[in-house]
Structure formats: structure tokens, C-alpha cells
Amino acid sequence: MPLVAVVRTLGPPAVVAVVGAVLVARRRPPRGGLLAAGLGVYVVAAALPLLWLAVQRATGLARGSEAGLVMILLQPAVEAGAWLLALAALVPRRAPAAPRGGAPADGAAGLRGRSG
């Protein structure tokens, strides 16, 4: 594969990963680990076609069409996982719900007033 194709494939995700890493390091978001993981998975998703070509060449799997089908389905799934990790970093954590009216959390207050 020519170097131009490698740079065109990996260049934009690498720039996104570097800029994202700088922003995570400077801003320190509450869920920075999820965001950093999403950026890493995004770069891996971009590199999957190149890694797949290397595996095919090393193992001789290039003759079967099933191998191509796996790659066609796998790469977008990994990229979608990266986006889900990044989006999960944006969702705020929920604080534990406090019991209403000072009632015990186990629900025993509701049984006290009943006659049966």
C-alpha cells in the first residue's frame, strides 16, 4: 500500500486523537477516561483496514470473500463503539436518589401504617 494511502487513512483520526488528548489533558473532564478510550478506539478503527491487509498477506486469507465481509462489518462496528464511548463521556452521572420525606430506604415505612 502506498504511503499516501496510509497517511490519508490514518491522518485525520490521528489528528482528532492528538487534539482530543490535548483537550482531555488541559480541561480534565469528569469522565476523561471514557473520552480517552473513545479516541483510542477511533484510531484503532481507522487502522483496522491496514491491519487486516497485513493479516491477510501474512496468513494467505486474501483469497476468500468471507474475510472481506468480516472486515466490512467489523470496522464500522468498532468505529460506532468509539463514538458511543465518547458520547457516554458527555452523559452526566446521576447522584444517588435520596429517600423522600425521611422514610427509610428499605420501604419499611410504608408497612407501618397498614392494618391487615
Q: Is the pTM of this model over 0.85?
A: no
Identify residue 11 by its one-letter amino acid code. G
Write phi, then psi, for 72 (nearest 5 degrees): -60, -35
Please tell me the predicted confidence (pLDDT) of residue 104. Answer: 57
pLDDT at 4: 86
Would you call 71 helix, strand, or coil by DSSP? helix
Per-residue pLDDT of the chain (116 residues; tens, 9 = 90+): 788 888 888 888 889 889 988 988 998 888 888 889 999 999 998 888 888 888 878 887 767 666 677 778 888 899 999 989 988 888 877 777 766 765 555 555 555 555 55
Closest Cα to residue 32, out of 99, 72, 86? Answer: 86
Joined together, the cell numbers standing for residue 103 give 422514610
